[in-house]
Amino acid sequence: MRKLNWIILSCSDRGVQYGVGTFIRQLSMGLSESKDVAVFILEISYSNYKTLEIRRENNITILEIPSPLANKRVDLRKNQEKIAKSIARVVRQYIPEAEMNVVHMNFIYQYFTAKELSQALNGVCIFTKHIINLEDHEDQNNFDLEEETCNMVNQVVAVSSYGKDCLIDKGINKDKISIIYNGLSPEQFKTDRHNDIREKFGFKKDERLILYSGRLDLIKGVNYLASAFGMLLKRLPDCRLVIAGNGDFESLINATRLFSSHVSYLGFLPVEDLVSLYHGSTIGVIPSLDEQYGYVALEMLYCGLPVVASNIGGLKEIFIHNRNALLVDMIEDRNNPFGLSPKIDQFSEYMYDLLVNEPLRKTFSKNAVARAIQTFTRKKMVNQYLNLINQLKCDEY
């Protein structure tokens, strides 16, 4: 009998294609390397598709559970509770005996399933809080589950000190919050394709590439990046802004229409191409309006890509100003619901400074890789999660 079953709740949401999805993949792969841990990923797909599918990938069992489409009826909470009970009954029969079961939720709306499943398996429940911003308060379910979730689970994991402070400000007991930085495996960032990637996407060999990677959402600050890039082009016309990701293209296209010939939209890329782009670009940019952590920041760090980023939230815990990145000051801004934005002229100036200073880029690159390997590895992240569960187990007895 294994010591531990670890059941990770996932979904088909767009966010899982980006940071949360990266986290789930990295954690599950790391946990699966232990002979004492059986890893299960529960993918809940909100559709009318009726068939349960089970598959094995890299020693991980993946259960695809169909769930009825959500509706806006007044009794939605009762509907969710009923659906969650059904999911728990189905999943329970596929979880083998173990000394301990861990149910690991990653989104607030997984509350009902996590609660029912942890009760059915007599297990502990943890919640990694990836998102702390206005998105949490979208009233999609006509009720607020954040406080209930934090009370229900055995432990809340914040992925940065900033995230923990935000939770404490919301009234969550600080003793119930652990900080575990997200981590990555260094091996996945080795590539020799950075020259080929320019040819693949039609970029000139001597063109200065500025790479943005991630969702095209308001919180990511891409419209502010567009303004800063427009200013930069007046000084360095041989630059190209490369956008890798999906989202609100229309807003960004409108913001860059006066210099559209200098902007490339690549959409959502396979990880191999994205890693090659990190290595083949001149600098990276992260203009976020709010950011608890950001896997893109880690990916750029691991690839040694010099970065200009907003001096905000968890980005300040990943990057060190003037050592592996240039961090842009934030100013009050009433034109967006987050109340802050990066200083556009400073963002443009910092991009210019990095683009024209090759020795500085080489220094940042070397320091970035060293910091990534020292602080943000998958192995360290997995060990901290296992230590957390061991502590919870000791507290039970």
Residues 93-149 have pLDDT tens digits of 999 999 999 999 999 889 999 999 999 999 999 999 998 755 444 444 444 688 889
Nearest of 325, 330, 131 to residue 221 by alpha carbon: 330
215 lies in the same domain as 326: yes
Residue of 249 and 211 predicted with greater confidence: 211
Whether residues 202 and 167 share a domain: the answer is no
49 confidence band (pLDDT: 50, 70, 90) = low
Give the model's pLDDT for residue 18: 64
How many CB atoms are located within 10 Å of the residue 217 CB? 19
Domain co-membership, 46 together with 172: yes
**Band (74; pLDDT cuts 50, 70, 90):** very low
Whether residue 69 is predicted with pLDDT greater than 70 in this model: the reply is no
Q: Which residues of 80-96 are buried (b: 16+ CB within 10 A; e: fewer)?
A: bbebbbebbeebeeebe
For residue 73, what pLDDT is reported?
46
**Cα distance between residue 138 and residue 136, in whole Å:** 6
pTM of the model: 0.90
Cβ-in-10-Å burial (0-12, 13-18, 19+) of 161 comes to: middle
Q: What is the pLDDT of residues 292-334, one digit of tens each?
A: 888 999 999 999 999 999 999 999 999 999 999 999 999 999 9
**Tokens for 352?**
């210019």
Q: Examine the domain organization and report whether 358 and 295 are in the same domain.
A: yes
**Are 368 and 388 found together in one domain?**
no
* C-alpha span between 270 and 279 (Å, rounded): 15
391-394 own/partner pairs: CB under 8 Å, 24+ apart: 392/124, 392/126, 392/154, 392/155, 393/100, 393/124
pLDDT of residue 27: 97
Q: What is the number of domains present in the chain?
A: 2
Question: Do residues 84 and 161 both lie within one domain?
Answer: yes
- Tell me, yes or no, whether 334 and 385 share the same domain: no
**pLDDT surpassing 70 at residue 220:** yes
pLDDT at 125: 97
What's residue 47's pLDDT?
A: 57
146 & 254 share domain: no
Question: Which amino acid is it at 282?
Answer: T
* % of the chain at pLDDT higher than 90: 70
* Same-domain status, 227 and 81: no
pLDDT at 205: 87
* CATH classification of the domain holding 247: 3.40.50.2000
| Total number of residues shown for the chain | 397
Give the residue with greater pLDDT, 387 vs 397: 387
Do 66 and 197 have their domain in common? no
Q: Are residues 29 and 96 in the same domain?
A: yes
392 in the same domain as 336: no
Q: Which has more pLDDT, 19 or 139?
A: 19
Per the structure, the complete domain to which residue 162 belongs is given by: 2-183+377-396
Per-residue pLDDT, averaged over 179-202, amounts to 87
Token pair 């556009």: residue: 344
Task: For tokens 């009234």, name the residue.
Answer: 171
